[in-house]
């Protein structure tokens, strides 16, 4: 696997007339080498590839890193690379402009005044967007952990509990069930707060009759899940039921249409049209979904303005929502694999309205 990924990167390097690619973004380092620590970098050259880290990770690097020559740095990683003469002088070095910060780039330029540092985009991202079956299995595992958390959280949700307490339970359950981290801070938005698409959990208590939107995910061996369900704590209003039904139908229509070869913006339009026809178009302010994998948000983009075309092996979320200010909101989100002619839903969590 490593070898195929490296070959694809070298292909791009050749086209971009670069002598090396410098990778400092940890999810990409893990994707290419297997290293899961917090300090490292990769240098990929036409015939060699190096992984550098510091002395804290000597043992871990030897255990995890495959297919790269490992260098343990005594000072900074950049200085070690220089000391070892890893880069040819006067070379054109590509760096990931979306992931390297200004100070880091400055350091590299100071260390290597004769090198040209050339910004690159999407070299690794383009590879990550199409998953093989072993990657899909890891996402499947992350998704099933989050599905289990959802099932268990239904026992916890009751009138009087605060959003914060529900969020704390979600975090605890993810770890208990084998996740290595949360994908992001869980969203727990009850009642009128459900109208905020990205509401952080607060001390607000959940009241009987309120809808509660739960959006959470975890990371399992580097791969993420991302799940949203909206449930009713006590009998919901007719308006809430109607909002739920429309979002549910829009989500289902998108799931039924998603397949390889489809423009991502057309998939967005399937759900958006249904919501707009029902009169809620202006209350659906975000994109239909996003790619999911080693990052929670990655390629392809699944929005009205996306230029991406869905490919077999993409993993995306499908998550329409409606949010009526000072009333509340509903969002339903599944993680799916794009296949030839259909999409495979990874979630098992029910999408019927749960009334607790
Ligand atoms: Zn989500
Ligand atoms: Zn999402």
Which pLDDT band, with edges at 50, 70 and 90, does 198 fall under?
confident
* Ligand approaching nearest to the C-alpha of 297: 2
- In this predicted structure, the answer to whether residue 91 has a pLDDT above a threshold of 70 is yes
Compute the distance from residue 50 Cα to the ligand 1 centre, in Å. 35
Long-range (24+ apart) CB contacts under 8 A made by 147-151 are 147/227, 147/347, 147/348, 147/349, 148/173, 148/177, 149/173, 149/174, 149/177, 149/216, 149/218, 150/214, 150/227, 150/229, 150/349, 151/349
- In this predicted structure, the answer to whether residue 194 has a pLDDT above a threshold of 80 is yes
Which pLDDT band, with edges at 50, 70 and 90, does 355 fall under?
very high
Which pLDDT band, with edges at 50, 70 and 90, does 136 fall under?
very high
Rg (CA), the chain: 23
Average pLDDT over residues 167-179: 98
Compute the distance from residue 134 Cα to the ligand 1 centre, in Å. 23
Compute the distance from residue 59 Cα to the ligand 2 centre, in Å. 35
* Ligand approaching nearest to the C-alpha of 198: 1
130-345 and 2-128 share a CATH fold: no
pLDDT at 356: 94
Which pLDDT band, with edges at 50, 70 and 90, does 244 fall under?
very high
Q: Does domain 130-345 have CATH number 3.10.310.10?
A: no
- In this predicted structure, the answer to whether residue 1 has a pLDDT above a threshold of 80 is no
Compute the distance from residue 76 Cα to the ligand 2 centre, in Å. 36
Compute the distance from residue 112 Cα to the ligand 2 centre, in Å. 40
Closest CA to 124 of 10, 18, 224: 10
Compute the distance from residue 122 Cα to the ligand 1 centre, in Å. 23
Which pLDDT band, with edges at 50, 70 and 90, does 184 fall under?
very high
- In this predicted structure, the answer to whether residue 250 has a pLDDT above a threshold of 80 is yes
- In this predicted structure, the answer to whether residue 90 has a pLDDT above a threshold of 90 is no
Domain ranges of the chain: 2-128, 130-345
Which parts of the chain fold into alpha helices (H)? Answer: 2-15, 26-33, 58-64, 77-83, 102-111, 123-128, 133-156, 163-176, 238-257, 264-277
* Ligand approaching nearest to the C-alpha of 288: 2
Compute the distance from residue 290 Cα to the ligand 2 centre, in Å. 6
pTM: 0.95
Average pLDDT over residues 300-319: 98
Q: What percentage of residues in the chain have a pLDDT greater than 90?
A: 97
Provide the CATH number for the domain formed by 2-128 in this structure.
3.40.350.10
Q: What is the DSSP letter of 57?
A: G
Compute the distance from residue 74 Cα to the ligand 2 centre, in Å. 40
Compute the distance from residue 318 Cα to the ligand 1 centre, in Å. 9
* 3-state DSSP helix/strand/coil % of the chain, to nearest 5: 40, 25, 35
DSSP result, 276-313: HHTT-GGG--S-SEEE-SSSSSEEEEESTT---B--TT
* Ligand approaching nearest to the C-alpha of 318: 2
pLDDT at 88: 87
Residue 154 in tokens = 């239904």
Residues 6+ apart with CB under 8 A from 216: 146, 149, 170, 174, 182, 183, 184, 186, 187, 226, 227
């Amino acid at each position: 696997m490593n070898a195929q990924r490296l070959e694809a990167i070298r292909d791009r390097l050749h086209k971009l007339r670069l002598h090396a690619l410098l990778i400092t973004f940890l999810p990409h380092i893990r994707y290419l080498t297997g290293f899961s620590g917090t300090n490292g970098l990769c240098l990929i050259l036409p015939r060699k590839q190096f992984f550098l880290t510091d002395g804290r990770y000597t043992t871990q690097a030897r255990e995890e890193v495959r297919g790269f020559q490992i260098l343990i740095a005594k000072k900074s990683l950049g200085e070690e690379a220089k000391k070892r003469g890893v880069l040819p002088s006067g070379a054109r070095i590509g760096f990931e402009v979306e992931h390297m910060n200004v100070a880091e780039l400055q350091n590299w330029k100071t260390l290597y005044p004769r090198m040209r540092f050339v910004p690159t985009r999407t070299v690794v991202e383009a590879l990550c967007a199409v998953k093989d079956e072993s990657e899909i299995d890891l996402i499947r595992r992350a998704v099933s952990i989050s599905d289990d958390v959802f099932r268990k959280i239904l026992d916890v949700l009751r009138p009087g509990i605060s959003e914060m307490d529900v969020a704390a339970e979600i975090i605890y359950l993810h770890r208990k069930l084998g996740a290595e981290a949360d994908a992001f801070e869980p969203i727990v938005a009850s009642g009128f707060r459900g109208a905020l698409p990205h509401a952080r959990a607060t001390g607000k208590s959940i009241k009987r009759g309120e809808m509660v939107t739960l959006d959470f995910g975890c990371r399992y061996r580097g791969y993420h899940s991302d799940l949203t369900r909206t449930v009713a704590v006590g009998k919901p209003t007719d308006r809430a039921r109607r909002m739920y039904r429309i979002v549910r139908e829009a989500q289902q229509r998108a799931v039924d249409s998603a397949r390889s070869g489809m423009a991502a913006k057309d998939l967005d339009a399937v759900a958006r049209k249904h919501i707009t026809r029902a009169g809620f178009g202006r209350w659906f302010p975000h994109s239909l979904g996003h790619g999911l994998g080693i990052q929670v948000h990655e390629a392809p983009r699944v929005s009205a303005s996306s230029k991406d075309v869905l490919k077999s092996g993409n993993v995306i979320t499908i998550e329409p929502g409606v949010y009526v200010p000072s009333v509340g909101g509903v969002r339903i989100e599944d993680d799916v694999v794009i296949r030839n002619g259909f999409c495979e839903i990874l979630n098992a969590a029910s999408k019927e309205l749960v009334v607790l």
